[in-house]
Structure 1
Amino acid sequence: MTVTHEPAAPVIEFRQVGLTYPGPPPVAALRSCDLTVRRGEFLTVVGPSGSGKSTFLNIVGLLDTPTGGRYLLDGLDTSDLKDAERTALRGRRIGFVFQSFHLLPHRSAQENVELALVHSGVRRRTRRTHAREALQRVSLGHRATAPPTRLSGGERQRVAIARALVSHPALLLCDEPTGNLDTANAASVLTLLTELHTDGMTVLVITHDAEVARRGSRTVAIRDGVLHEQPAEAGAGGPEAP
């Protein structure tokens, strides 16, 4: 008996998505892109400076609105949403991890994670429980009471990842997540992202680092505002080549 498996549902769907900044002269930062990222994928996005990576990140993260095409997040067409609706959807469905950790130094690791739920309507006691669970998930439960000033760079990034995970997002969106880390801490964070992907999390990482890009199950390059799927055997260094 042959068992067929339905493909996982898309988390990200770009349908001819583009963004042109008004001039004069107008600047096409992203040009009519098609892309599907399915649930549970680990996608890395690479490209040289000025290629359109930041624009792509801002569109995926619902920080910018495309001027052309349609963007579906977890099946919901975001094209015509109002600002308040986009903000609410972003808070529910996207977890952000940045190169800079953006942690409050006078708050504990657990309190920093809890802050992601303050405007979600979750009660304080439940916020604490969810924050502790998120820190356990990134192997930092034993550091819950420590302020960021007493954590290593890798631990601070793990707190930032826990904060991104605490709302159970459909997508973990990482912008240069190892950019401020030394080699050992970067390797630790990459291992964590790989583990999250193995557990079923959809992970998208923007990076210029070839080693980081190789961790993905797929790699997309951006050149001059155009997405190019990278062959698996090509390696991650391709988009940086002239």
Structure 2
Amino acid sequence: MTLDAPALPPDDRPPVIEFRDVGLTYPGTPPVEALKPCRLTVTAGSFLTVVGPSGSGKSTFLNILGLLDAPSTGTYLLDGIDTGALKDTELTALRGRRLGFVFQAFHLLPHRSALENVALAMLYNGVPRKERDGRALAALERVGLGDRAHAVPTTLSGGERQRVAVARALVARPSVLLCDEPTGNLDTANARSVMALLRELHEDGMTIVVITHDPEVAAQGGRTLAIRDGVLEETPPAVPLRTGARS
């Protein structure tokens, strides 16, 4: 199946993600074709949402995108780099430089401040120690939490904790922000607040991929894919809901 992006705009934005007949089959009796071979092009600055029921292949798709699982067929290019040609150490380095992750469960260290949680993301990325706090504070300010830099996660609201998680994902200046159910643990107001932040980041040029089961969240993207039984399909664009206050 081919899911190529529309014709490039006049600025000729380059592809950040390219799947060339990428698929993943888990061995077994019988084998499980978790993601059927597909073609996909995502250009820089895109906002892509991906929907599908439980067991549809969303996690497999995200794991391939995040360089956590290697496809069993096809070629995955990230920023033009053939990921299948890299050693494990090279994949780890590429993941740290080019990909930022935001998870449903936040995954923040409870006894570390927001600043420390964000700064720790740079520990293995080669960022000099003297630069980490400054970059971490700048990332927190970017998500509207500069005044909460020294607060620990247990004193933050759910929306604030997810903003810290977004700051942590941004601090390494990745090419792509991968968000796995980023609003799954939030109430409606905080969910809309986090999505408003993601839209702001997209408007600033960030390439964003959001995996979600929520139709309202899916409608925020400029482009939506659906996965069912391992098959990736393009869906008609939806009108995004742009209401809700920040938290």
TM-score (norm 1): 0.94
Cα separation, 1, equivalents of 2:101 and 2:238: 29
Correspondence 1:62 to 2:53? no
Identify which of 225, 233, 236 aligns with 1:228.
233
Secondary structure of 1:62's aligned partner? coil
Give the C-alpha shift of residue 234 in structure 1.
9.1
Cα 1:114/1:234, change in 2 over 3 Å: closer
Identify which of 36, 39, 44 aligns with 2:41.
36
What are the residue-to-residue correspondences of 1:113-132 with 2, within 5 Å? 113-132=118-137
The aligned counterpart of 1:240 is none
Cα separation, 2, equivalents of 1:82 and 1:124: 27
TM-score (norm 2): 0.92
The aligned counterpart of 1:93 is 98
The aligned counterpart of 2:81 is 76
Correspondence 1:197 to 2:193? no
Secondary structure of 1:8's aligned partner? coil
| Structure 1: tracts of 5 or more residues without a match | 236-242
Secondary structure of 1:177's aligned partner? coil
Cα separation, 2, equivalents of 1:69 and 1:229: 20
Greater shift in the superposed pair: 113-122 or 192-201: 113-122
Cα separation, 2, equivalents of 1:10 and 1:110: 33
The runs of 4+ residues in structure 1 deviating greater than 4 Å are none
Secondary structure of 1:132's aligned partner? helix
Percent of aligned positions with the same letter in both sequences?
Answer: 70
Secondary structure of 1:43's aligned partner? strand
Identify which of 48, 51, 62 aligns with 1:46.
51
Q: C-alpha deviations, 1:11-67, integer Å up to 9, x for none?
A: 110000000000121100001111111100000000111110000000000000000
Read off the aligned partner of 1:167 and give its amino acid letter.
Answer: A
Count of residues in correspondence between the two structures: 232
The aligned counterpart of 1:25 is 30
| Structure 2: tracts of 5 or more residues without a match | 1-8, 241-247
